[in-house]
Amino acid sequence: MVSTIQLEQQKSIPLTNSVSHYQIVIVGGGAAGITTAAQLLRQQSNLDIAIIEPSQKHYYQPGWTLVGGGIAPIDQFIREEKDVIPQGAKWIQDYVTTLDPDRNCLTLAQGQTIEYDYLVLCPGIQIDWHLVKGLPEALGKGGVTSNYSKDYAPYTWETIKNFPGGTAIFTYPNTPIKCGGAPQKIMYMADDSFKQRAGVGINTKVMFCTAGTRMFGVPAYNATLEKVVQRRGITTNFQHNLKEIKADSKEAIFDVTTENGVEEVSIHYDMIHVSPPMSCPDFIKQSLLADEKGWVDVDKYTMQHNRYPNVFSLGDASSAPTSKTAASARKQTPIVVENLLSKMKSQPLMAKYDGYTCCPLITGYDSAIMAEFDYEKKVAPSFPLDPTKERYVMFLAKAYALPWIYWNRMLAGRAFEADVFQPLNQLVNRD
Ligand SMILES: Cc1cc2nc3c(=O)[nH]c(=O)nc-3n(C[C@H](O)[C@H](O)[C@H](O)COP(=O)(O)OP(=O)(O)OC[C@H]3O[C@@H](n4cnc5c(N)ncnc54)[C@H](O)[C@@H]3O)c2cc1C
């Protein structure tokens, strides 16, 4: 939680000599930031927009699951950031370090002050590797890996394909994470790969160790996933929160919640895929814009800040209580765009986000469940098919159609044009 003292300290930003002003400032040039800028400029090309993004490269992170599963090389999911910045937007290549919403300005790592009329915050989620003792040092060797970093996703596949047999652990932490299905997707592909190689599957024990109490938060999809783990013979350890990796002895140490309290349990691993703890980026947590848990404090329907009406947020950093995915960002963007443009004209905010999200849950090399749902945890399918069923066509959608839609439609601000799901519909009609 952010203390009052911290908030007091953050309130005032010393003004530097270098001050720039933009009508709209977007913090973060990832999935949400680029899509928002593109859609705003498609609606009104004369808007004065700056995108603040430190990275030279833009990553399609859902592809990292495919890299870890040996389906695609990492290069396939990387583009130059300059090539995705929409025409008409200015790219400021720097980190935001402090936010001063009372003065409508922020500061950058290099000392510049940026003033805005309207602010859109979408800096994504922060990976807190350091919260698992021994993990930062252990990663990338000795069978310790994670698809939650572009640097280690290739090592996941190296580890899986060379696995000689033993205990393979897949973890899920006790914090919100991006793409809550990703820790399972890689487990099912790994299990397939082990079973395809003579002598490996039979000598391997696959374990899902999760801090949660079930496989998935949406009952309709949870029921299917329970059958998947049963069919595969995967051991499920619920209420197991990974707290330490002892790389020398190949031990994973968990805090396990039982009826008698929390006890420490050590499990030997031969490989371990870690889904690390995550939180909102520190510069948000330490600002006046954070809620009590550190996320950008927005109205979950309008995506407008609850206390600063000229501030909006979307994507992983917002407090909207839905699953943190690029699919959520895709659906949140038109809401933010419409409401921001209304706000600029002093009109009421009419657009409402219903919490839609989608997690294409790969359940093997030839199947996936397209898990679409909303705030009510009700299934919200885009296709006229039972969404709780595993299907080959949904695996193809995840592996091929969705990356195409991301690069060619979503980032261009055209995710809602009539042809956006054309490649998917063609696949579905063949199913
Ligand atoms: C392994 C994995 C699998 C996934 N699978 C799926 C999937 O199948 N389907 C799906 O829909 N989603 C999936 N996701 C989640 C998806 O990638 C994210 O939810 C999505 O990228 C969120 O968009 P965003 O713009 O909020 O954050 P991001 O896309 O992460 O962008 C945030 C940007 O903000 C920038 N930034 C950070 N700090 C600062 C700062 N201080 N100042 C300025 N800029 C800053 C970052 O450099 C980054 O470019 C997956 C993610 C991972 C890692």
Confidence of residue 94 (pLDDT cuts 50, 70, 90): very high
Confidence of residue 431 (pLDDT cuts 50, 70, 90): low
**Nearest alpha carbon to residue 194 among 81, 278, 70:** 70
Q: Is the pLDDT of residue 97 over 80?
A: yes
Q: Is the pLDDT of residue 410 over 50?
A: yes
Residue 425's pLDDT is: 64
Domain termination residue (choose one: 344, 372, 395): 344
pLDDT in tens, 327-384: 999 999 999 999 999 999 999 999 999 999 999 999 999 999 999 999 999 999 998 9
Residue 80's pLDDT is: 98
Whether 359 is catalytic:
yes
| Same-domain pairing of 142 and 255 | yes
Span 78-92, mean pLDDT? Answer: 98
| Same-domain pairing of 171 and 110 | no
| Same-domain pairing of 194 and 236 | yes
Domain termination residue (choose one: 277, 308, 335): 277
C-beta 168 within 6 A of ligand 1 = no
pLDDT in tens, 148-169: 999 999 999 999 999 999 999 9
| Same-domain pairing of 134 and 271 | yes
| Same-domain pairing of 110 and 144 | no
Strand partners, 255: 241, 264
DSSP states of 169-234:
EEEE-SS--BSTTHHHHHHHHHHHHHHHSTTTGGGEEEEEEESSSSS-SSHHHHHHHHHHHHHHT-
Residue 350 lies in a domain: no
C-beta 370 within 6 A of ligand 1 = no
Residue 428's pLDDT is: 62
Residue 352 lies in a domain: no
- Please state, in angstroms and rounded to a whole number, the distance separating the CA atoms of residues 96 and 109: 6
Distance 201 CA to ligand 1 centre (A): 34
| Same-domain pairing of 46 and 13 | yes
Average pLDDT, the chain: 94
Contact assessment for residue 248 and residue 138, using Cβ atoms and an 8 Å cutoff: no
User: What domain count does the chain have?
Assistant: 3
Confidence of residue 423 (pLDDT cuts 50, 70, 90): low
The residue with greater pLDDT, 420 or 374, is 374
| Same-domain pairing of 248 and 377 | no
Q: Is the pLDDT of residue 8 over 50?
A: no
- In the structure encoding, which two tokens stand for residue 313, read together? 């947020």
Residue 7's pLDDT is: 39
Distance 195 CA to ligand 1 centre (A): 32
Q: Which residue, chain included where needed, has tokens 């990974």?
A: 242
Q: Is the pLDDT of residue 5 over 60?
A: no
Residue 415's pLDDT is: 79
What percent of the chain shows pLDDT beyond 70? Answer: 92
| Same-domain pairing of 182 and 138 | yes
| Same-domain pairing of 158 and 268 | yes
Q: Give me the domain span that covers residue 380.
A: 357-430
Residue 193 lies in a domain: yes
| Same-domain pairing of 16 and 103 | yes
Residue 380's pLDDT is: 95
| Same-domain pairing of 118 and 228 | no
Residue 351 lies in a domain: no
Distance 198 CA to ligand 1 centre (A): 38
| Same-domain pairing of 265 and 238 | yes
Residue 349 lies in a domain: no
CATH number of the domain within which 25 lies: 3.50.50.60
Residue 246 lies in a domain: yes
Whether 105 is catalytic:
no
Residue 1's pLDDT is: 36
C-beta 324 within 6 A of ligand 1 = yes
Domain termination residue (choose one: 251, 277, 303): 277
Residue 185 lies in a domain: yes
pLDDT in tens, 157-209: 999 999 999 999 999 999 999 999 999 999 999 999 999 999 999 999 999 99
